[in-house]
Structure 1
Amino acid sequence: MNKINSFLLALILVFASQNLFAQQKRSLTHADYDGWESLSSEKITKNGQYVGYQISPQDGDSHLEIFPYKSPSTKALIPRGLGFSFTADDAFAVGKIAPQKDSVKVMKLKKKKADDMPKDSLFILQLASGKLEKLPRVKSFALPSEKGSWIAVHFEKELPTKADPADSTKKAEKPKKTDGTKLLVRSLDGAKSWEFERVKNFGFAQNGDFLHYTLAEEDTLDNAAIYILNLSTGESKLVHEKMTTYSNVSFSPQSKHLAFIATDDSLKAKKPVHALHLYSVSASSISSIEKSTAGIMSGGRISPDGNIRFSEDETRLFFGVAKDYVDYAYANDTTILDEERVSLDIWGWQDAEIQPMQLVNRNTAEKKTYLSVLEIGSGEVIQLGSEILENVSLENKITKDVALASTDSPYRRAYSWDIQIGRDVYLVDFKTGNSTLIAENASGFARLSSEAKYAYWYDSRDSSWVAYELASKAKINLTKALPVPFFEELHDSPSLPGNYGSEGWLSDDSAILIYDRFDIWKIDPKNPGAAVNLTRGEGRKSQMVFRRERLRFDETSIDPKEALILSAFNENNKNSGFFTTTFDGKVAPKQLLMSAHRYAGLTKAKESAQILVRRSTYKENPDVYLTDLTFKNLTKASNLNPQQANVKWGSVELISYLANDGTPLQGLLFKPEGFDPTKKYPMMVYFYERNSDTFHNYRAPAPSRSTINIPYFVSNDYLVFVPDIKYDLGLPGPSAYNCIIPGVQAVIAKGGVDVANMAIQGQSWGGYQVAHLITRTNLFKAAGAGAPVVNMTSAYGGIRWGTGMSRMFQYEQTQSRIGGTLWEKPLYYLENSPLFTMDRVETPVLIMHNDADGSVPWYQGIEMFMALKRLDKPAWLLQYNGEDHNLVQRKNAKDLSVRLSQFFDHYLKGAPAPLWMTEGLPAVEKGKTLKYELSN
């Protein structure tokens, strides 16, 4: 054989092997979902030397991967690990190990009691040596947040000791009644340790100097108590005892004080009386505040439902006061049997909130507290909050003498139809408790600047950012004089447009950073007209969205001396990356990294330049990559879902087209692997508002909560098209037609679409658009509509049971986009309601609408189904019992996935129909069969 023939033979063998490899790839099945992995909880030590994250299948046992930053291939694997943390000294990783899921299932099938079920364990991994220690039957654990090398481990209840069968005279020891269990406190290296029995709760001081622990009562002996442990000396000191419960236990920032709330009333008491206690750690002295203490609001009581917060300088203690209990004669009448009590809701026109909202918010309302402050030095209590000052907003770190408070009570009655009601904003002085109204009926959410020189908010009525200088009491418009809009430019609903956000204030309140659609502005409130565009307009010029990356998770203000790292997203081609620039705005942003990927979740080590970031495309899993602030080299650390290499995955293409009215739009076209435009593929069309910016998002195969799983259908040789939709006010249905149909036609023109076998599917707002489209066109062979509104006239007066809100706002101001009331625009409601033209439908429809839907009234799906049934049109309604708007229970999501694929395979691929479609599922067979079997 000559050399040429040998070469040709080798070439043929190469192509044959490649073709064989391609043929060996398989399509996704519904069985693939459970094992598909996702990544979470990525962390890096403060010094940047170690990295860890959790990898979890959708259903099964997760694991942790922990490794040196410089050696990502040297991984410590913790099977079934979860909820881990690095210690404050960067020396250990600590977390839980869950029981094997299969073992738990076996025990559940055997009907084992909760105490007999497998319990979590704890692992302690020494990072430098790799030494791994495990502790069994762990309920919880804690670590100091700022410094120290300590751990506290709370164990599960010990199993009862069984009697020795060889000793018939000895009975099994009866356990004492307590809800406390053993607590182990030790240094992480094990050199020091202490154990305490019947502990109920515990916690470290932030600086790791002390630990508090509370003992539960034992056999009703009235011996509950609270202690603190000095971790340097090992001395455990009694703080307080003989209360029924201790709660809200909190150290001050530097452990000078310990505060807690306690009561000696019975656990069954309907109206327990609580007191607030403040313990001085150094002096071992305690003081108490009760409802009779001077300064507590009239008719108030100390509430365990409010948060306890210390100021950073430890001179103030903030706590919650609630209205005192009311004695209702009817409620306290012991002569009335439960079956005799009236159960009634009264809807009053004068109520600020309608009854369903009140019922949804009842628990919150019953636990409503009003902020008070204790001046620790003087012992003076000052009431800050009230029924007028409902919400007093404390900063993450309390360093100033003032806070903002707000209330929307004067405007709350209109909230059922106007979700953009205003609020009155007050400045509250901690020293005096005095409040000053600084903005009446403001259309924004006010915050304090970092140095508390200004209050600021976005005024949606004026489409401007404003500031209020506290010293001069002057209101300043920060953006009105600037040459670009700061409202959402693509806003297309009847509500006031929102904004692009602000990034916060420079450390001396000299300027605030505010975003427009593309760029970042540094604005001096004393001279807003001289604002500096930090990105020099390059964002708008190139359609690039620049945003500052926050490198310190605990940041309270922006240090202009630190690196200014920007994320970047190109709206045209959807590429993303990172840039850097300066705070003076004198240089154009410098590109560090830009590529055809999506980047997300940037995390920087607190004390070094090391960075973690996730990167993805439709084909590439969102794996963790390692780099630093230069972004010069990215090292892939994780390797999610290696099994994907054996699956037919496909690709995605960005499609540009024009709507019927000439508006430029984009859409995503997902294509099967090995797509051949000369062949014909069935096509699914899915839509919901705008999705083209998700071009580089990874989409995992997963059971359907409501919509088609795109990777599943693409892997099974479907095209899937996802067009963007732009809306005209008052015309939501026609707008969908105006955008979706031209997009479909643009895809058809590219080739490869089996025009005779196309379908549409959508959920909620998308379900409505599906219902509307099939009354306008017979272009689609089948349709799937999840939770569709088909009758806007009845839905307008319905309730969103999840929030208790009337649905009026939906039509007057937001997504449904009618822009007026039913009596102002009756024709718009009728013409946009597909129910009234259901007689035009020629498309078989699969509807899903669940009987516990908290967003769209369930009867909307019934109205659609009954109309189609009455008209003798092929339609099926899937109603998952007890399920909400989107499916929550995985078993039901798996079921829906099967039925969606069977339905569309039947109509678009000619597959046999399953029995649930041909025979239905009679009520007498409910729970006995699923009827997935295909008919002959």
Structure 2
Amino acid sequence: MPNLQPLTIDKLITLQYIPSRVPFHLSPDGKYLAITLESGERDFPSSMNTQENSIPQNLAASQVKIIDTTNGNVVTPFGNSKSMSPRWSDDGKLLAAYLLNGDRVSLGIWHRQNGQIQIFANTQISKIYGGYEIFGCAVPQWMPNNQAVVLQVQTTKNSVADSSKISNVSVFSFDPTIENSEQQEAESDLLSWLSGDLVIFDINSGEQKLLAQNLPFRSWRISPDGKNIALLKAVKREVNNTHHWTLYDLVVLPTDSSPPITVASNIPQTYAVSFSWSPDSQYIAYTTHKRVALSVEEQTDEGELFVVSADGTNVTRKLSNTETPNLGQNYETPRWSQDGKEIYCLTSSGVWITATEGSSCRNLTVNSDMEILYWIQRPLFNLCTLWDNNKIPLAFRNPQTLNSGLAFLNIETGENTILFEDAQNFTADALSTEMGNNGDLYFALETADTPAEICCVTDKDKETKQLFVPNPDLSEVAFGKSRLISWRGYDGSECFGALMLPQNYVERQKLPLIVNVYGGVNNSCFLNNFDFGWSGHQHPQLFASRGYAYLCPDMPMLNRDPMRQLPGLVLPAINLLVDMGIVDSERVGVIGQSYGGYCVLGLLTQTNRFKAAVTSAGVYNMTSFYGILMSHGKSRWIDWAETAQGRMGGSLWEKRDTYIENSPLFYLDRVETPVLLISGTGEPGEASQASEVFSGLRRLGKTVEMRLYDREGHYSGGWSQKSLRDVGARVISWFDSYIMSG
């Protein structure tokens, strides 16, 4: 039996994980699976507002891996270079990816035959959100000739001169006599963050053919015949008290440089990826996606299916009807049948299938105890690939047990069969899957005590097998185990929570407890996630491997008076664990990030139950946070406070007392718990919020420490490894000194 050790900060930083929104890609012959792995080994501050840092956060710690599907052997095609978003050529001889090349992002090509690497420095890949990241769906896409790649590169045209670069004066103005002035400001911000040039890059000559300049878009699709490229161009944002989405125009760009054609307008989507080409390249199918808020907590999704002619000559046809379930998806696309006669759309309970001409449709659903997570298909492909000729593989979660599994939905009979269902979780999203032409399935699975591993199911033996373990050297870490707990809230309702206990826990052994709070979220759904949904300094295994119990309780909230609700959402769960003999009532701490930071301080002003607290990137004074101005002049937190997560229900002047009563800062005199405040300085307003609390607690003679991390952003899970080492070590020592030692 090995001598088990705690999870160290250094080990946490080097853990390899499957990033969200970055597709897998299987070579055409099915032998090599190309994926992206990410870690915490970043050498740069994470703030998107750091002008001198032009390195995307997600690329800064990523590497492409190629897995041999026959034996699980792995190669790193681009060596030590940071790389992501791999894409095989149609002949399987070349692999394109994005590489970090000095301080810029360039196209890299790996030659399968001899391992040669080409880096094209004259390609400067476009980055979104002010250079913060590369959008994972914006992969390099090969033209059918396998000699050219379609890329989104940084625009060569500046649409608006930036006066701040030539003056020491920043000017912001607003004229109420100009209609939609604030709406235009929001749209300008969106368009500048997404804009880039679309080019066809010839890998032999190194020449770029410009197809679109300074266009705001996220991803694109090449028609099967290679004659056209389709994309969704952002045109405006729709924002009010009930909804928030972006509208896009569907644009077709001929590759022969003929004028572009707008074939559909004002399409609401989330990430602008839900569209696909018909097999004959004549039509494009797309789904809409609207998320309408009935309240802060209650939302409903609406999505419909349309088909439009690629040359814009025919009227757009709506194929969904009033009986159709919601078809809106974040990352998935409508899929065409191989013959183009049917279109398949994923729903929350199965698959909806319609004839392309609209003559018939059918809604296939799975069992009621199966919540569909996503289907397993080829990411970013146009066609639906059937398993065993007539089945669609679906990743699902059981909403009662929170176990996940794999099922097959028969499109002919409507029957569904379950291959497996266990205490595990499908990692990331629908893009982190693949399906070979022979029916082999690839996906990532994790458990509460095991990081994600690449698994496969072969059509031949229909058994789940482990293919690749990204983190093989963890056998000596004392990873904790999870369990689902339930209790009755103050109002009598049944509540749930994800509890992690040390690996060697003995029943009735009383442990110190850390409670991770975040209002408005059912945190128990992360029961089988390795990180319970939290990385960085809040990773539950940092604490469970050191002898702590770690609890993430569900915290459903009403759309009013958020601070007053907090004790009733958290304290009953602690009481249960004390009554069960699991937790020492005198050794309980609390931790929270972002809105969770708000919840931490809100709790401390209403109870002395906690012996130590850590809060990071929180909002503590609703009145001052309300008016924080971003560097580009946007007052982004007004909507947040009035109608969204802030739950104030109106403006500061309409609800003055509500803002004060729900601001923990005004009740700091009631705090008796030692508080560790954490913030990066790269996000406007966050450090000042922490400073207000620090100044107040110090003035009141309370125990408090504040740690500010230069140029770091909102979430420590994306910070530089230098900052993460410091904050992780301090959080552990903070709780150890006040709780573990008793």
* Distance change in 2, residues 1:524/1:771 (3 Å): farther
Paired residue for 2:297?
A: none
Paired residue for 1:905?
A: 736
Alignment of 1:268-347 (within 5 A): 343-347=169-173
Distance 1:802 1:740 in 2: 38
2:4 equivalent among 1, 10, 25? 25
Alignment of 1:723-872 (within 5 A): 723-801=553-631, 804-854=634-684, 856-872=685-701
How much has 1:726 moved relative to structure 2? Answer: 1.0
For the pair 1:46 / 2:25, whether they are aligned, the reply is: no
SS in 2 for 1:395: strand
How much has 1:835 moved relative to structure 2? Answer: 1.3
2:420 equivalent among 593, 602, 625? 593
How much has 1:344 moved relative to structure 2? Answer: 3.6
Native 8 Å contact 1:570 1:576 kept in 2: yes
Paired residue for 1:465?
A: 303
Distance 2:276 2:558 in 1: 38
Paired residue for 2:320?
A: 478
Paired residue for 1:522?
A: 353
* Distance change in 2, residues 1:803/1:533 (3 Å): farther
Distance 2:249 2:456 in 1: 45
SS in 2 for 1:867: helix
Distance 2:419 2:632 in 1: 45
Alignment of 1:107-122 (within 5 A): none
Distance 1:839 1:37 in 2: 44
What TM-score, normalized to structure 1?
0.59
Aligned identity (percent) is 20
What TM-score, normalized to structure 2?
0.72
Q: Which structure's CA Rg is the greater one?
A: 1
1:420 equivalent among 229, 239, 244? 244
Native 8 Å contact 1:476 1:525 kept in 2: no
Alignment of 1:396-795 (within 5 A): 396-397=222-223, 408=235, 420=244, 423=247, 450-451=277-278, 452=283, 456-460=287-291, 464-467=302-305, 473=315, 476=318, 478=320, 480-481=322-323, 486=326, 503-507=333-337, 512-523=343-354, 531-535=361-365, 537-538=366-367, 541-545=368-372, 547-550=374-377, 552-558=378-384, 563-584=391-412, 586-600=413-427, 603-604=433-434, 606-629=436-459, 632-639=462-469, 641=471, 643-688=473-518, 689-699=521-531, 705=536, 707-795=537-625
SS in 1 for 2:590: strand
How much has 1:669 moved relative to structure 2? Answer: 0.8
SS in 2 for 1:623: strand
Paired residue for 2:708?
A: 879
How much has 1:357 moved relative to structure 2? Answer: 7.2
How much has 1:620 moved relative to structure 2? Answer: 2.5
* Distance change in 2, residues 1:91/1:901 (3 Å): same
How much has 1:469 moved relative to structure 2? Answer: 6.3
Letter in 1 for 2:398: N
Write the deviation string for residues 901-931 of structure 1: whole angstroms up to 9, x where unpaired. Answer: 11111111337xxxxxxxxxxxxxxxxxxxx
Letter in 1 for 2:620: V
How much has 1:812 moved relative to structure 2? Answer: 2.7
Native 8 Å contact 1:425 1:439 kept in 2: yes
Native 8 Å contact 2:441 2:457 kept in 1: yes
SS in 1 for 2:552: strand
Distance 2:150 2:229 in 1: 22
* Distance change in 2, residues 1:67/1:459 (3 Å): closer
Distance 2:370 2:495 in 1: 15
Distance 1:93 1:744 in 2: 52
Distance 1:370 1:754 in 2: 60
Alignment of 1:63-462 (within 5 A): 69-72=69-72, 142-143=109-110, 153=117, 253-254=144-145, 343-349=169-175, 350=178, 352=181, 395-397=221-223, 408=235, 420=244, 423=247, 450-451=277-278, 452=283, 456-460=287-291
Native 8 Å contact 1:321 1:370 kept in 2: no
How much has 1:500 moved relative to structure 2? Answer: 7.3
How much has 1:740 moved relative to structure 2? Answer: 1.9
How much has 1:754 moved relative to structure 2? Answer: 0.6
Native 8 Å contact 1:425 1:442 kept in 2: no
Write the deviation string for residues 561-586 of structure 1: whole angstroms up to 9, x where unpaired. Answer: 664221122122122221212334x2
Distance 1:39 1:889 in 2: 18
Paired residue for 2:54?
A: none
Distance 2:251 2:400 in 1: 44
Distance 2:89 2:460 in 1: 27
Q: Structure 1 stretches of 5 or more lacking a match?
A: 1-20, 99-113, 115-138, 156-198, 204-248, 261-302, 307-319, 332-337, 373-381, 488-497, 912-936
How much has 1:49 moved relative to structure 2? Answer: 4.0
Structure ranking higher on relative contact order (CA contacts 8 Å, 6+ apart): 2
Paired residue for 1:895?
A: 726
* Distance change in 2, residues 1:743/1:514 (3 Å): farther
Native 8 Å contact 2:372 2:394 kept in 1: no
Distance 2:218 2:540 in 1: 45
SS in 1 for 2:734: helix
* Distance change in 2, residues 1:547/1:868 (3 Å): same
* Distance change in 2, residues 1:575/1:642 (3 Å): same
Letter in 2 for 1:583: I
Letter in 1 for 2:320: L
Task: State which drifts further: 594-603 or 762-771.
Answer: 594-603
Native 8 Å contact 1:403 1:427 kept in 2: yes
Letter in 1 for 2:363: N
Native 8 Å contact 1:650 1:673 kept in 2: yes
Write the deviation string for residues 530-553 of structure 1: whole angstroms up to 9, x where unpaired. Answer: 752222x51xx2143263211x34
Native 8 Å contact 1:66 1:75 kept in 2: yes
How much has 1:819 moved relative to structure 2? Answer: 3.5
How much has 1:612 moved relative to structure 2? Answer: 3.5
SS in 1 for 2:396: strand
Native 8 Å contact 1:518 1:546 kept in 2: no
Q: CA RMSD in A?
A: 5.3
Distance 1:751 1:250 in 2: 57
SS in 1 for 2:538: coil
How much has 1:867 moved relative to structure 2? Answer: 1.6
Native 8 Å contact 2:276 2:335 kept in 1: yes
How much has 1:685 moved relative to structure 2? Answer: 0.4
Write the deviation string for residues 869-904 of structure 1: whole angstroms up to 9, x where unpaired. Answer: 122111111112232223422112111112111111
* Distance change in 2, residues 1:844/1:353 (3 Å): same
How much has 1:747 moved relative to structure 2? Answer: 2.3
Number of aligned residue pairs: 659
Native 8 Å contact 2:484 2:524 kept in 1: yes
